[in-house]
Amino acid sequence: MKTRLFVSGGLGNDRELVLTDDAARYLGRTLRLRPGDRIAVFNGDDGEWAATITAIRRNDVTLSVDHALDTATESPLKLHLVQGISRGERMDFVVQKATELGVKRITPVLTDHGMVKLDDARAAKRRDHWQRVAISACEQSGRIRPPLVDAALPLNHFLGGDGARDSTELILTPGARQTLAGVDAPPEKLCLLIGPEGGFSDREYDDAELAGFSAVSLGPRILRTETAAVAAITLAQARWGDLGGVT
């Protein structure tokens, strides 16, 4: 059962789902599946379920939900990525890889040196796009709970909000004395703040410090924003999450 699909309907024994639009086209025209073929479905709330295709029509596909599957792919580490928005496919890459690596929440932020400017309408469209990227990454990677992707907001608005309780808050800072590898295990949650292509301004570093973020580095080299995100998340999951056999 290699095909996995995110669905919006409720899941349970003997439930029937009718898929339309992109989902129906993907199963019927792209994958060329037929009645009797089996897939796995998940909706982010009810786990993962086996389903059988019972009908394929021109504009919709009908599934019969059979039984729950034992899927344990969600990391025990509650990791929140706050990412300075980068241009084009770089941001898509960060959202995709963060999802594959088990991040629970992604907050895109607009920064002083960032090259992307979004009004409210464009921000809403980008948020929907990034959420779809995350869902697709879940389908590929075996996750059953897509991360929450927030609407983009200015970094100072994020820093001025109420911080999460029991959260270790870190900002990646080139040249910081403390490395991420030397940080103590978070009590419950870990929040990583990573800059865009141009990095953070001095004002933003100061604001982050006032908001309770501690500066950490990933080593002696300066990494691209998308590389830094993947490296930091991987290191955190290896130490406190479910990579490398750690549980």
CATH number of the CATH domain containing 184:
3.40.1280.10
Identify whether residues 139 and 159 lie together within a single domain.
yes
- Residue 124, classed as helix, strand or coil, is helix
Domain limits for position 35: 4-69
Identify whether residues 85 and 189 lie together within a single domain.
yes
Identify whether residues 42 and 89 lie together within a single domain.
no
Identify whether residues 8 and 82 lie together within a single domain.
no
Dump pLDDT digits (tens) for 61-85: 999 999 999 999 999 999 999 999 9
Going through 77-194 in order, the beta strands assigned E by DSSP cover 78-84, 105-110, 148-149, 153-154, 167-172, 189-194
Identify whether residues 21 and 99 lie together within a single domain.
no
CATH number of the CATH domain containing 32:
2.40.240.20
**DSSP 8-state symbol, 244:** G
The mean pLDDT value for 232-242 works out to: 95
Identify whether residues 133 and 91 lie together within a single domain.
yes
End-to-end CA distance of the chain: 26
Number of domains forming the structure of the chain: 2
Model pTM score: 0.92
Identify whether residues 61 and 150 lie together within a single domain.
no
Identify whether residues 207 and 111 lie together within a single domain.
yes
The mean pLDDT value for 19-45 works out to: 93
Dump pLDDT digits (tens) for 107-165: 999 999 887 788 888 889 999 999 999 999 999 999 999 999 999 999 999 998 876 55
